Amino acid sequence: MWPFTKKKKDKVKGNKKEEQKAVETKQEVETEKEETAKETEAKTTKQTKKAEVKTEEKKASEEPKAETKNPAKKTTTKAEKEEPKAEEQETEEKTKKSVYRVVFDKEDKLWKIKKDGAARVIDSKKTKEEALARVQELSKNQDTKFVVYKKDGKFQKKANLKLKNDSDKD
């Protein structure tokens, strides 16, 4: 045999080995892909099963409630209608009777007038007397109460619509 033919045969054998290795790696990659796919499928099935169980539990818990509400629906709705009316009246009274507060602001060094439930300051004055005069005007106009605090933030007094100054004028 010629020497160059031997080399070709060796090359062919080397190519076959490389091909086999390539095939083996492809098979390994494919099996890994299949395994990951199976794992993801298993996870999704678990999640769907959990979701189904939760929905079934919700349905089961809602069904008895619905059954108990339906027969007594007429009596509860009447009572429920009366209760909100009373609550609405109370809230309307509370909103009508809002309270002004005179508070000292240490940062600005001003007396500020605030209304309960409001985010903004209504007015601010340099002296407490000016702030009290302004609050008295506001409380007269809107038929409300006001509360005064000391400079350190402690409660000082609470006043109604009828003030000493008003009773002297009458």
pLDDT digits (tens, 9 = 90+) for 11-42: 556 677 888 888 888 888 888 888 888 888 88
Residue 170 binned pLDDT confidence (cut-offs 50, 70, 90): very low
The mean pLDDT of the chain is 75
pLDDT for position 77: 53
Q: CA 47, CA 53: separation in Å to the nearest integer?
A: 10
pLDDT for position 139: 86
Q: Is there a contact between 14 and 21 (Cβ–Cβ < 8 Å)? A: no
Burial track 52-85 (b if 16+ CB lie within 10 A, e otherwise): eeeeeeeeeeeeeeeeeeeeeeeeeeeeeeeeee
Q: Is there a contact between 99 and 157 (Cβ–Cβ < 8 Å)? A: no
Q: Is there a contact between 138 and 121 (Cβ–Cβ < 8 Å)? A: no
Domain range list for the chain: 1-71, 97-169
pTM: 0.40
Q: Is there a contact between 98 and 143 (Cβ–Cβ < 8 Å)? A: no
Question: 23 is written with which tokens?
Answer: 């095939």
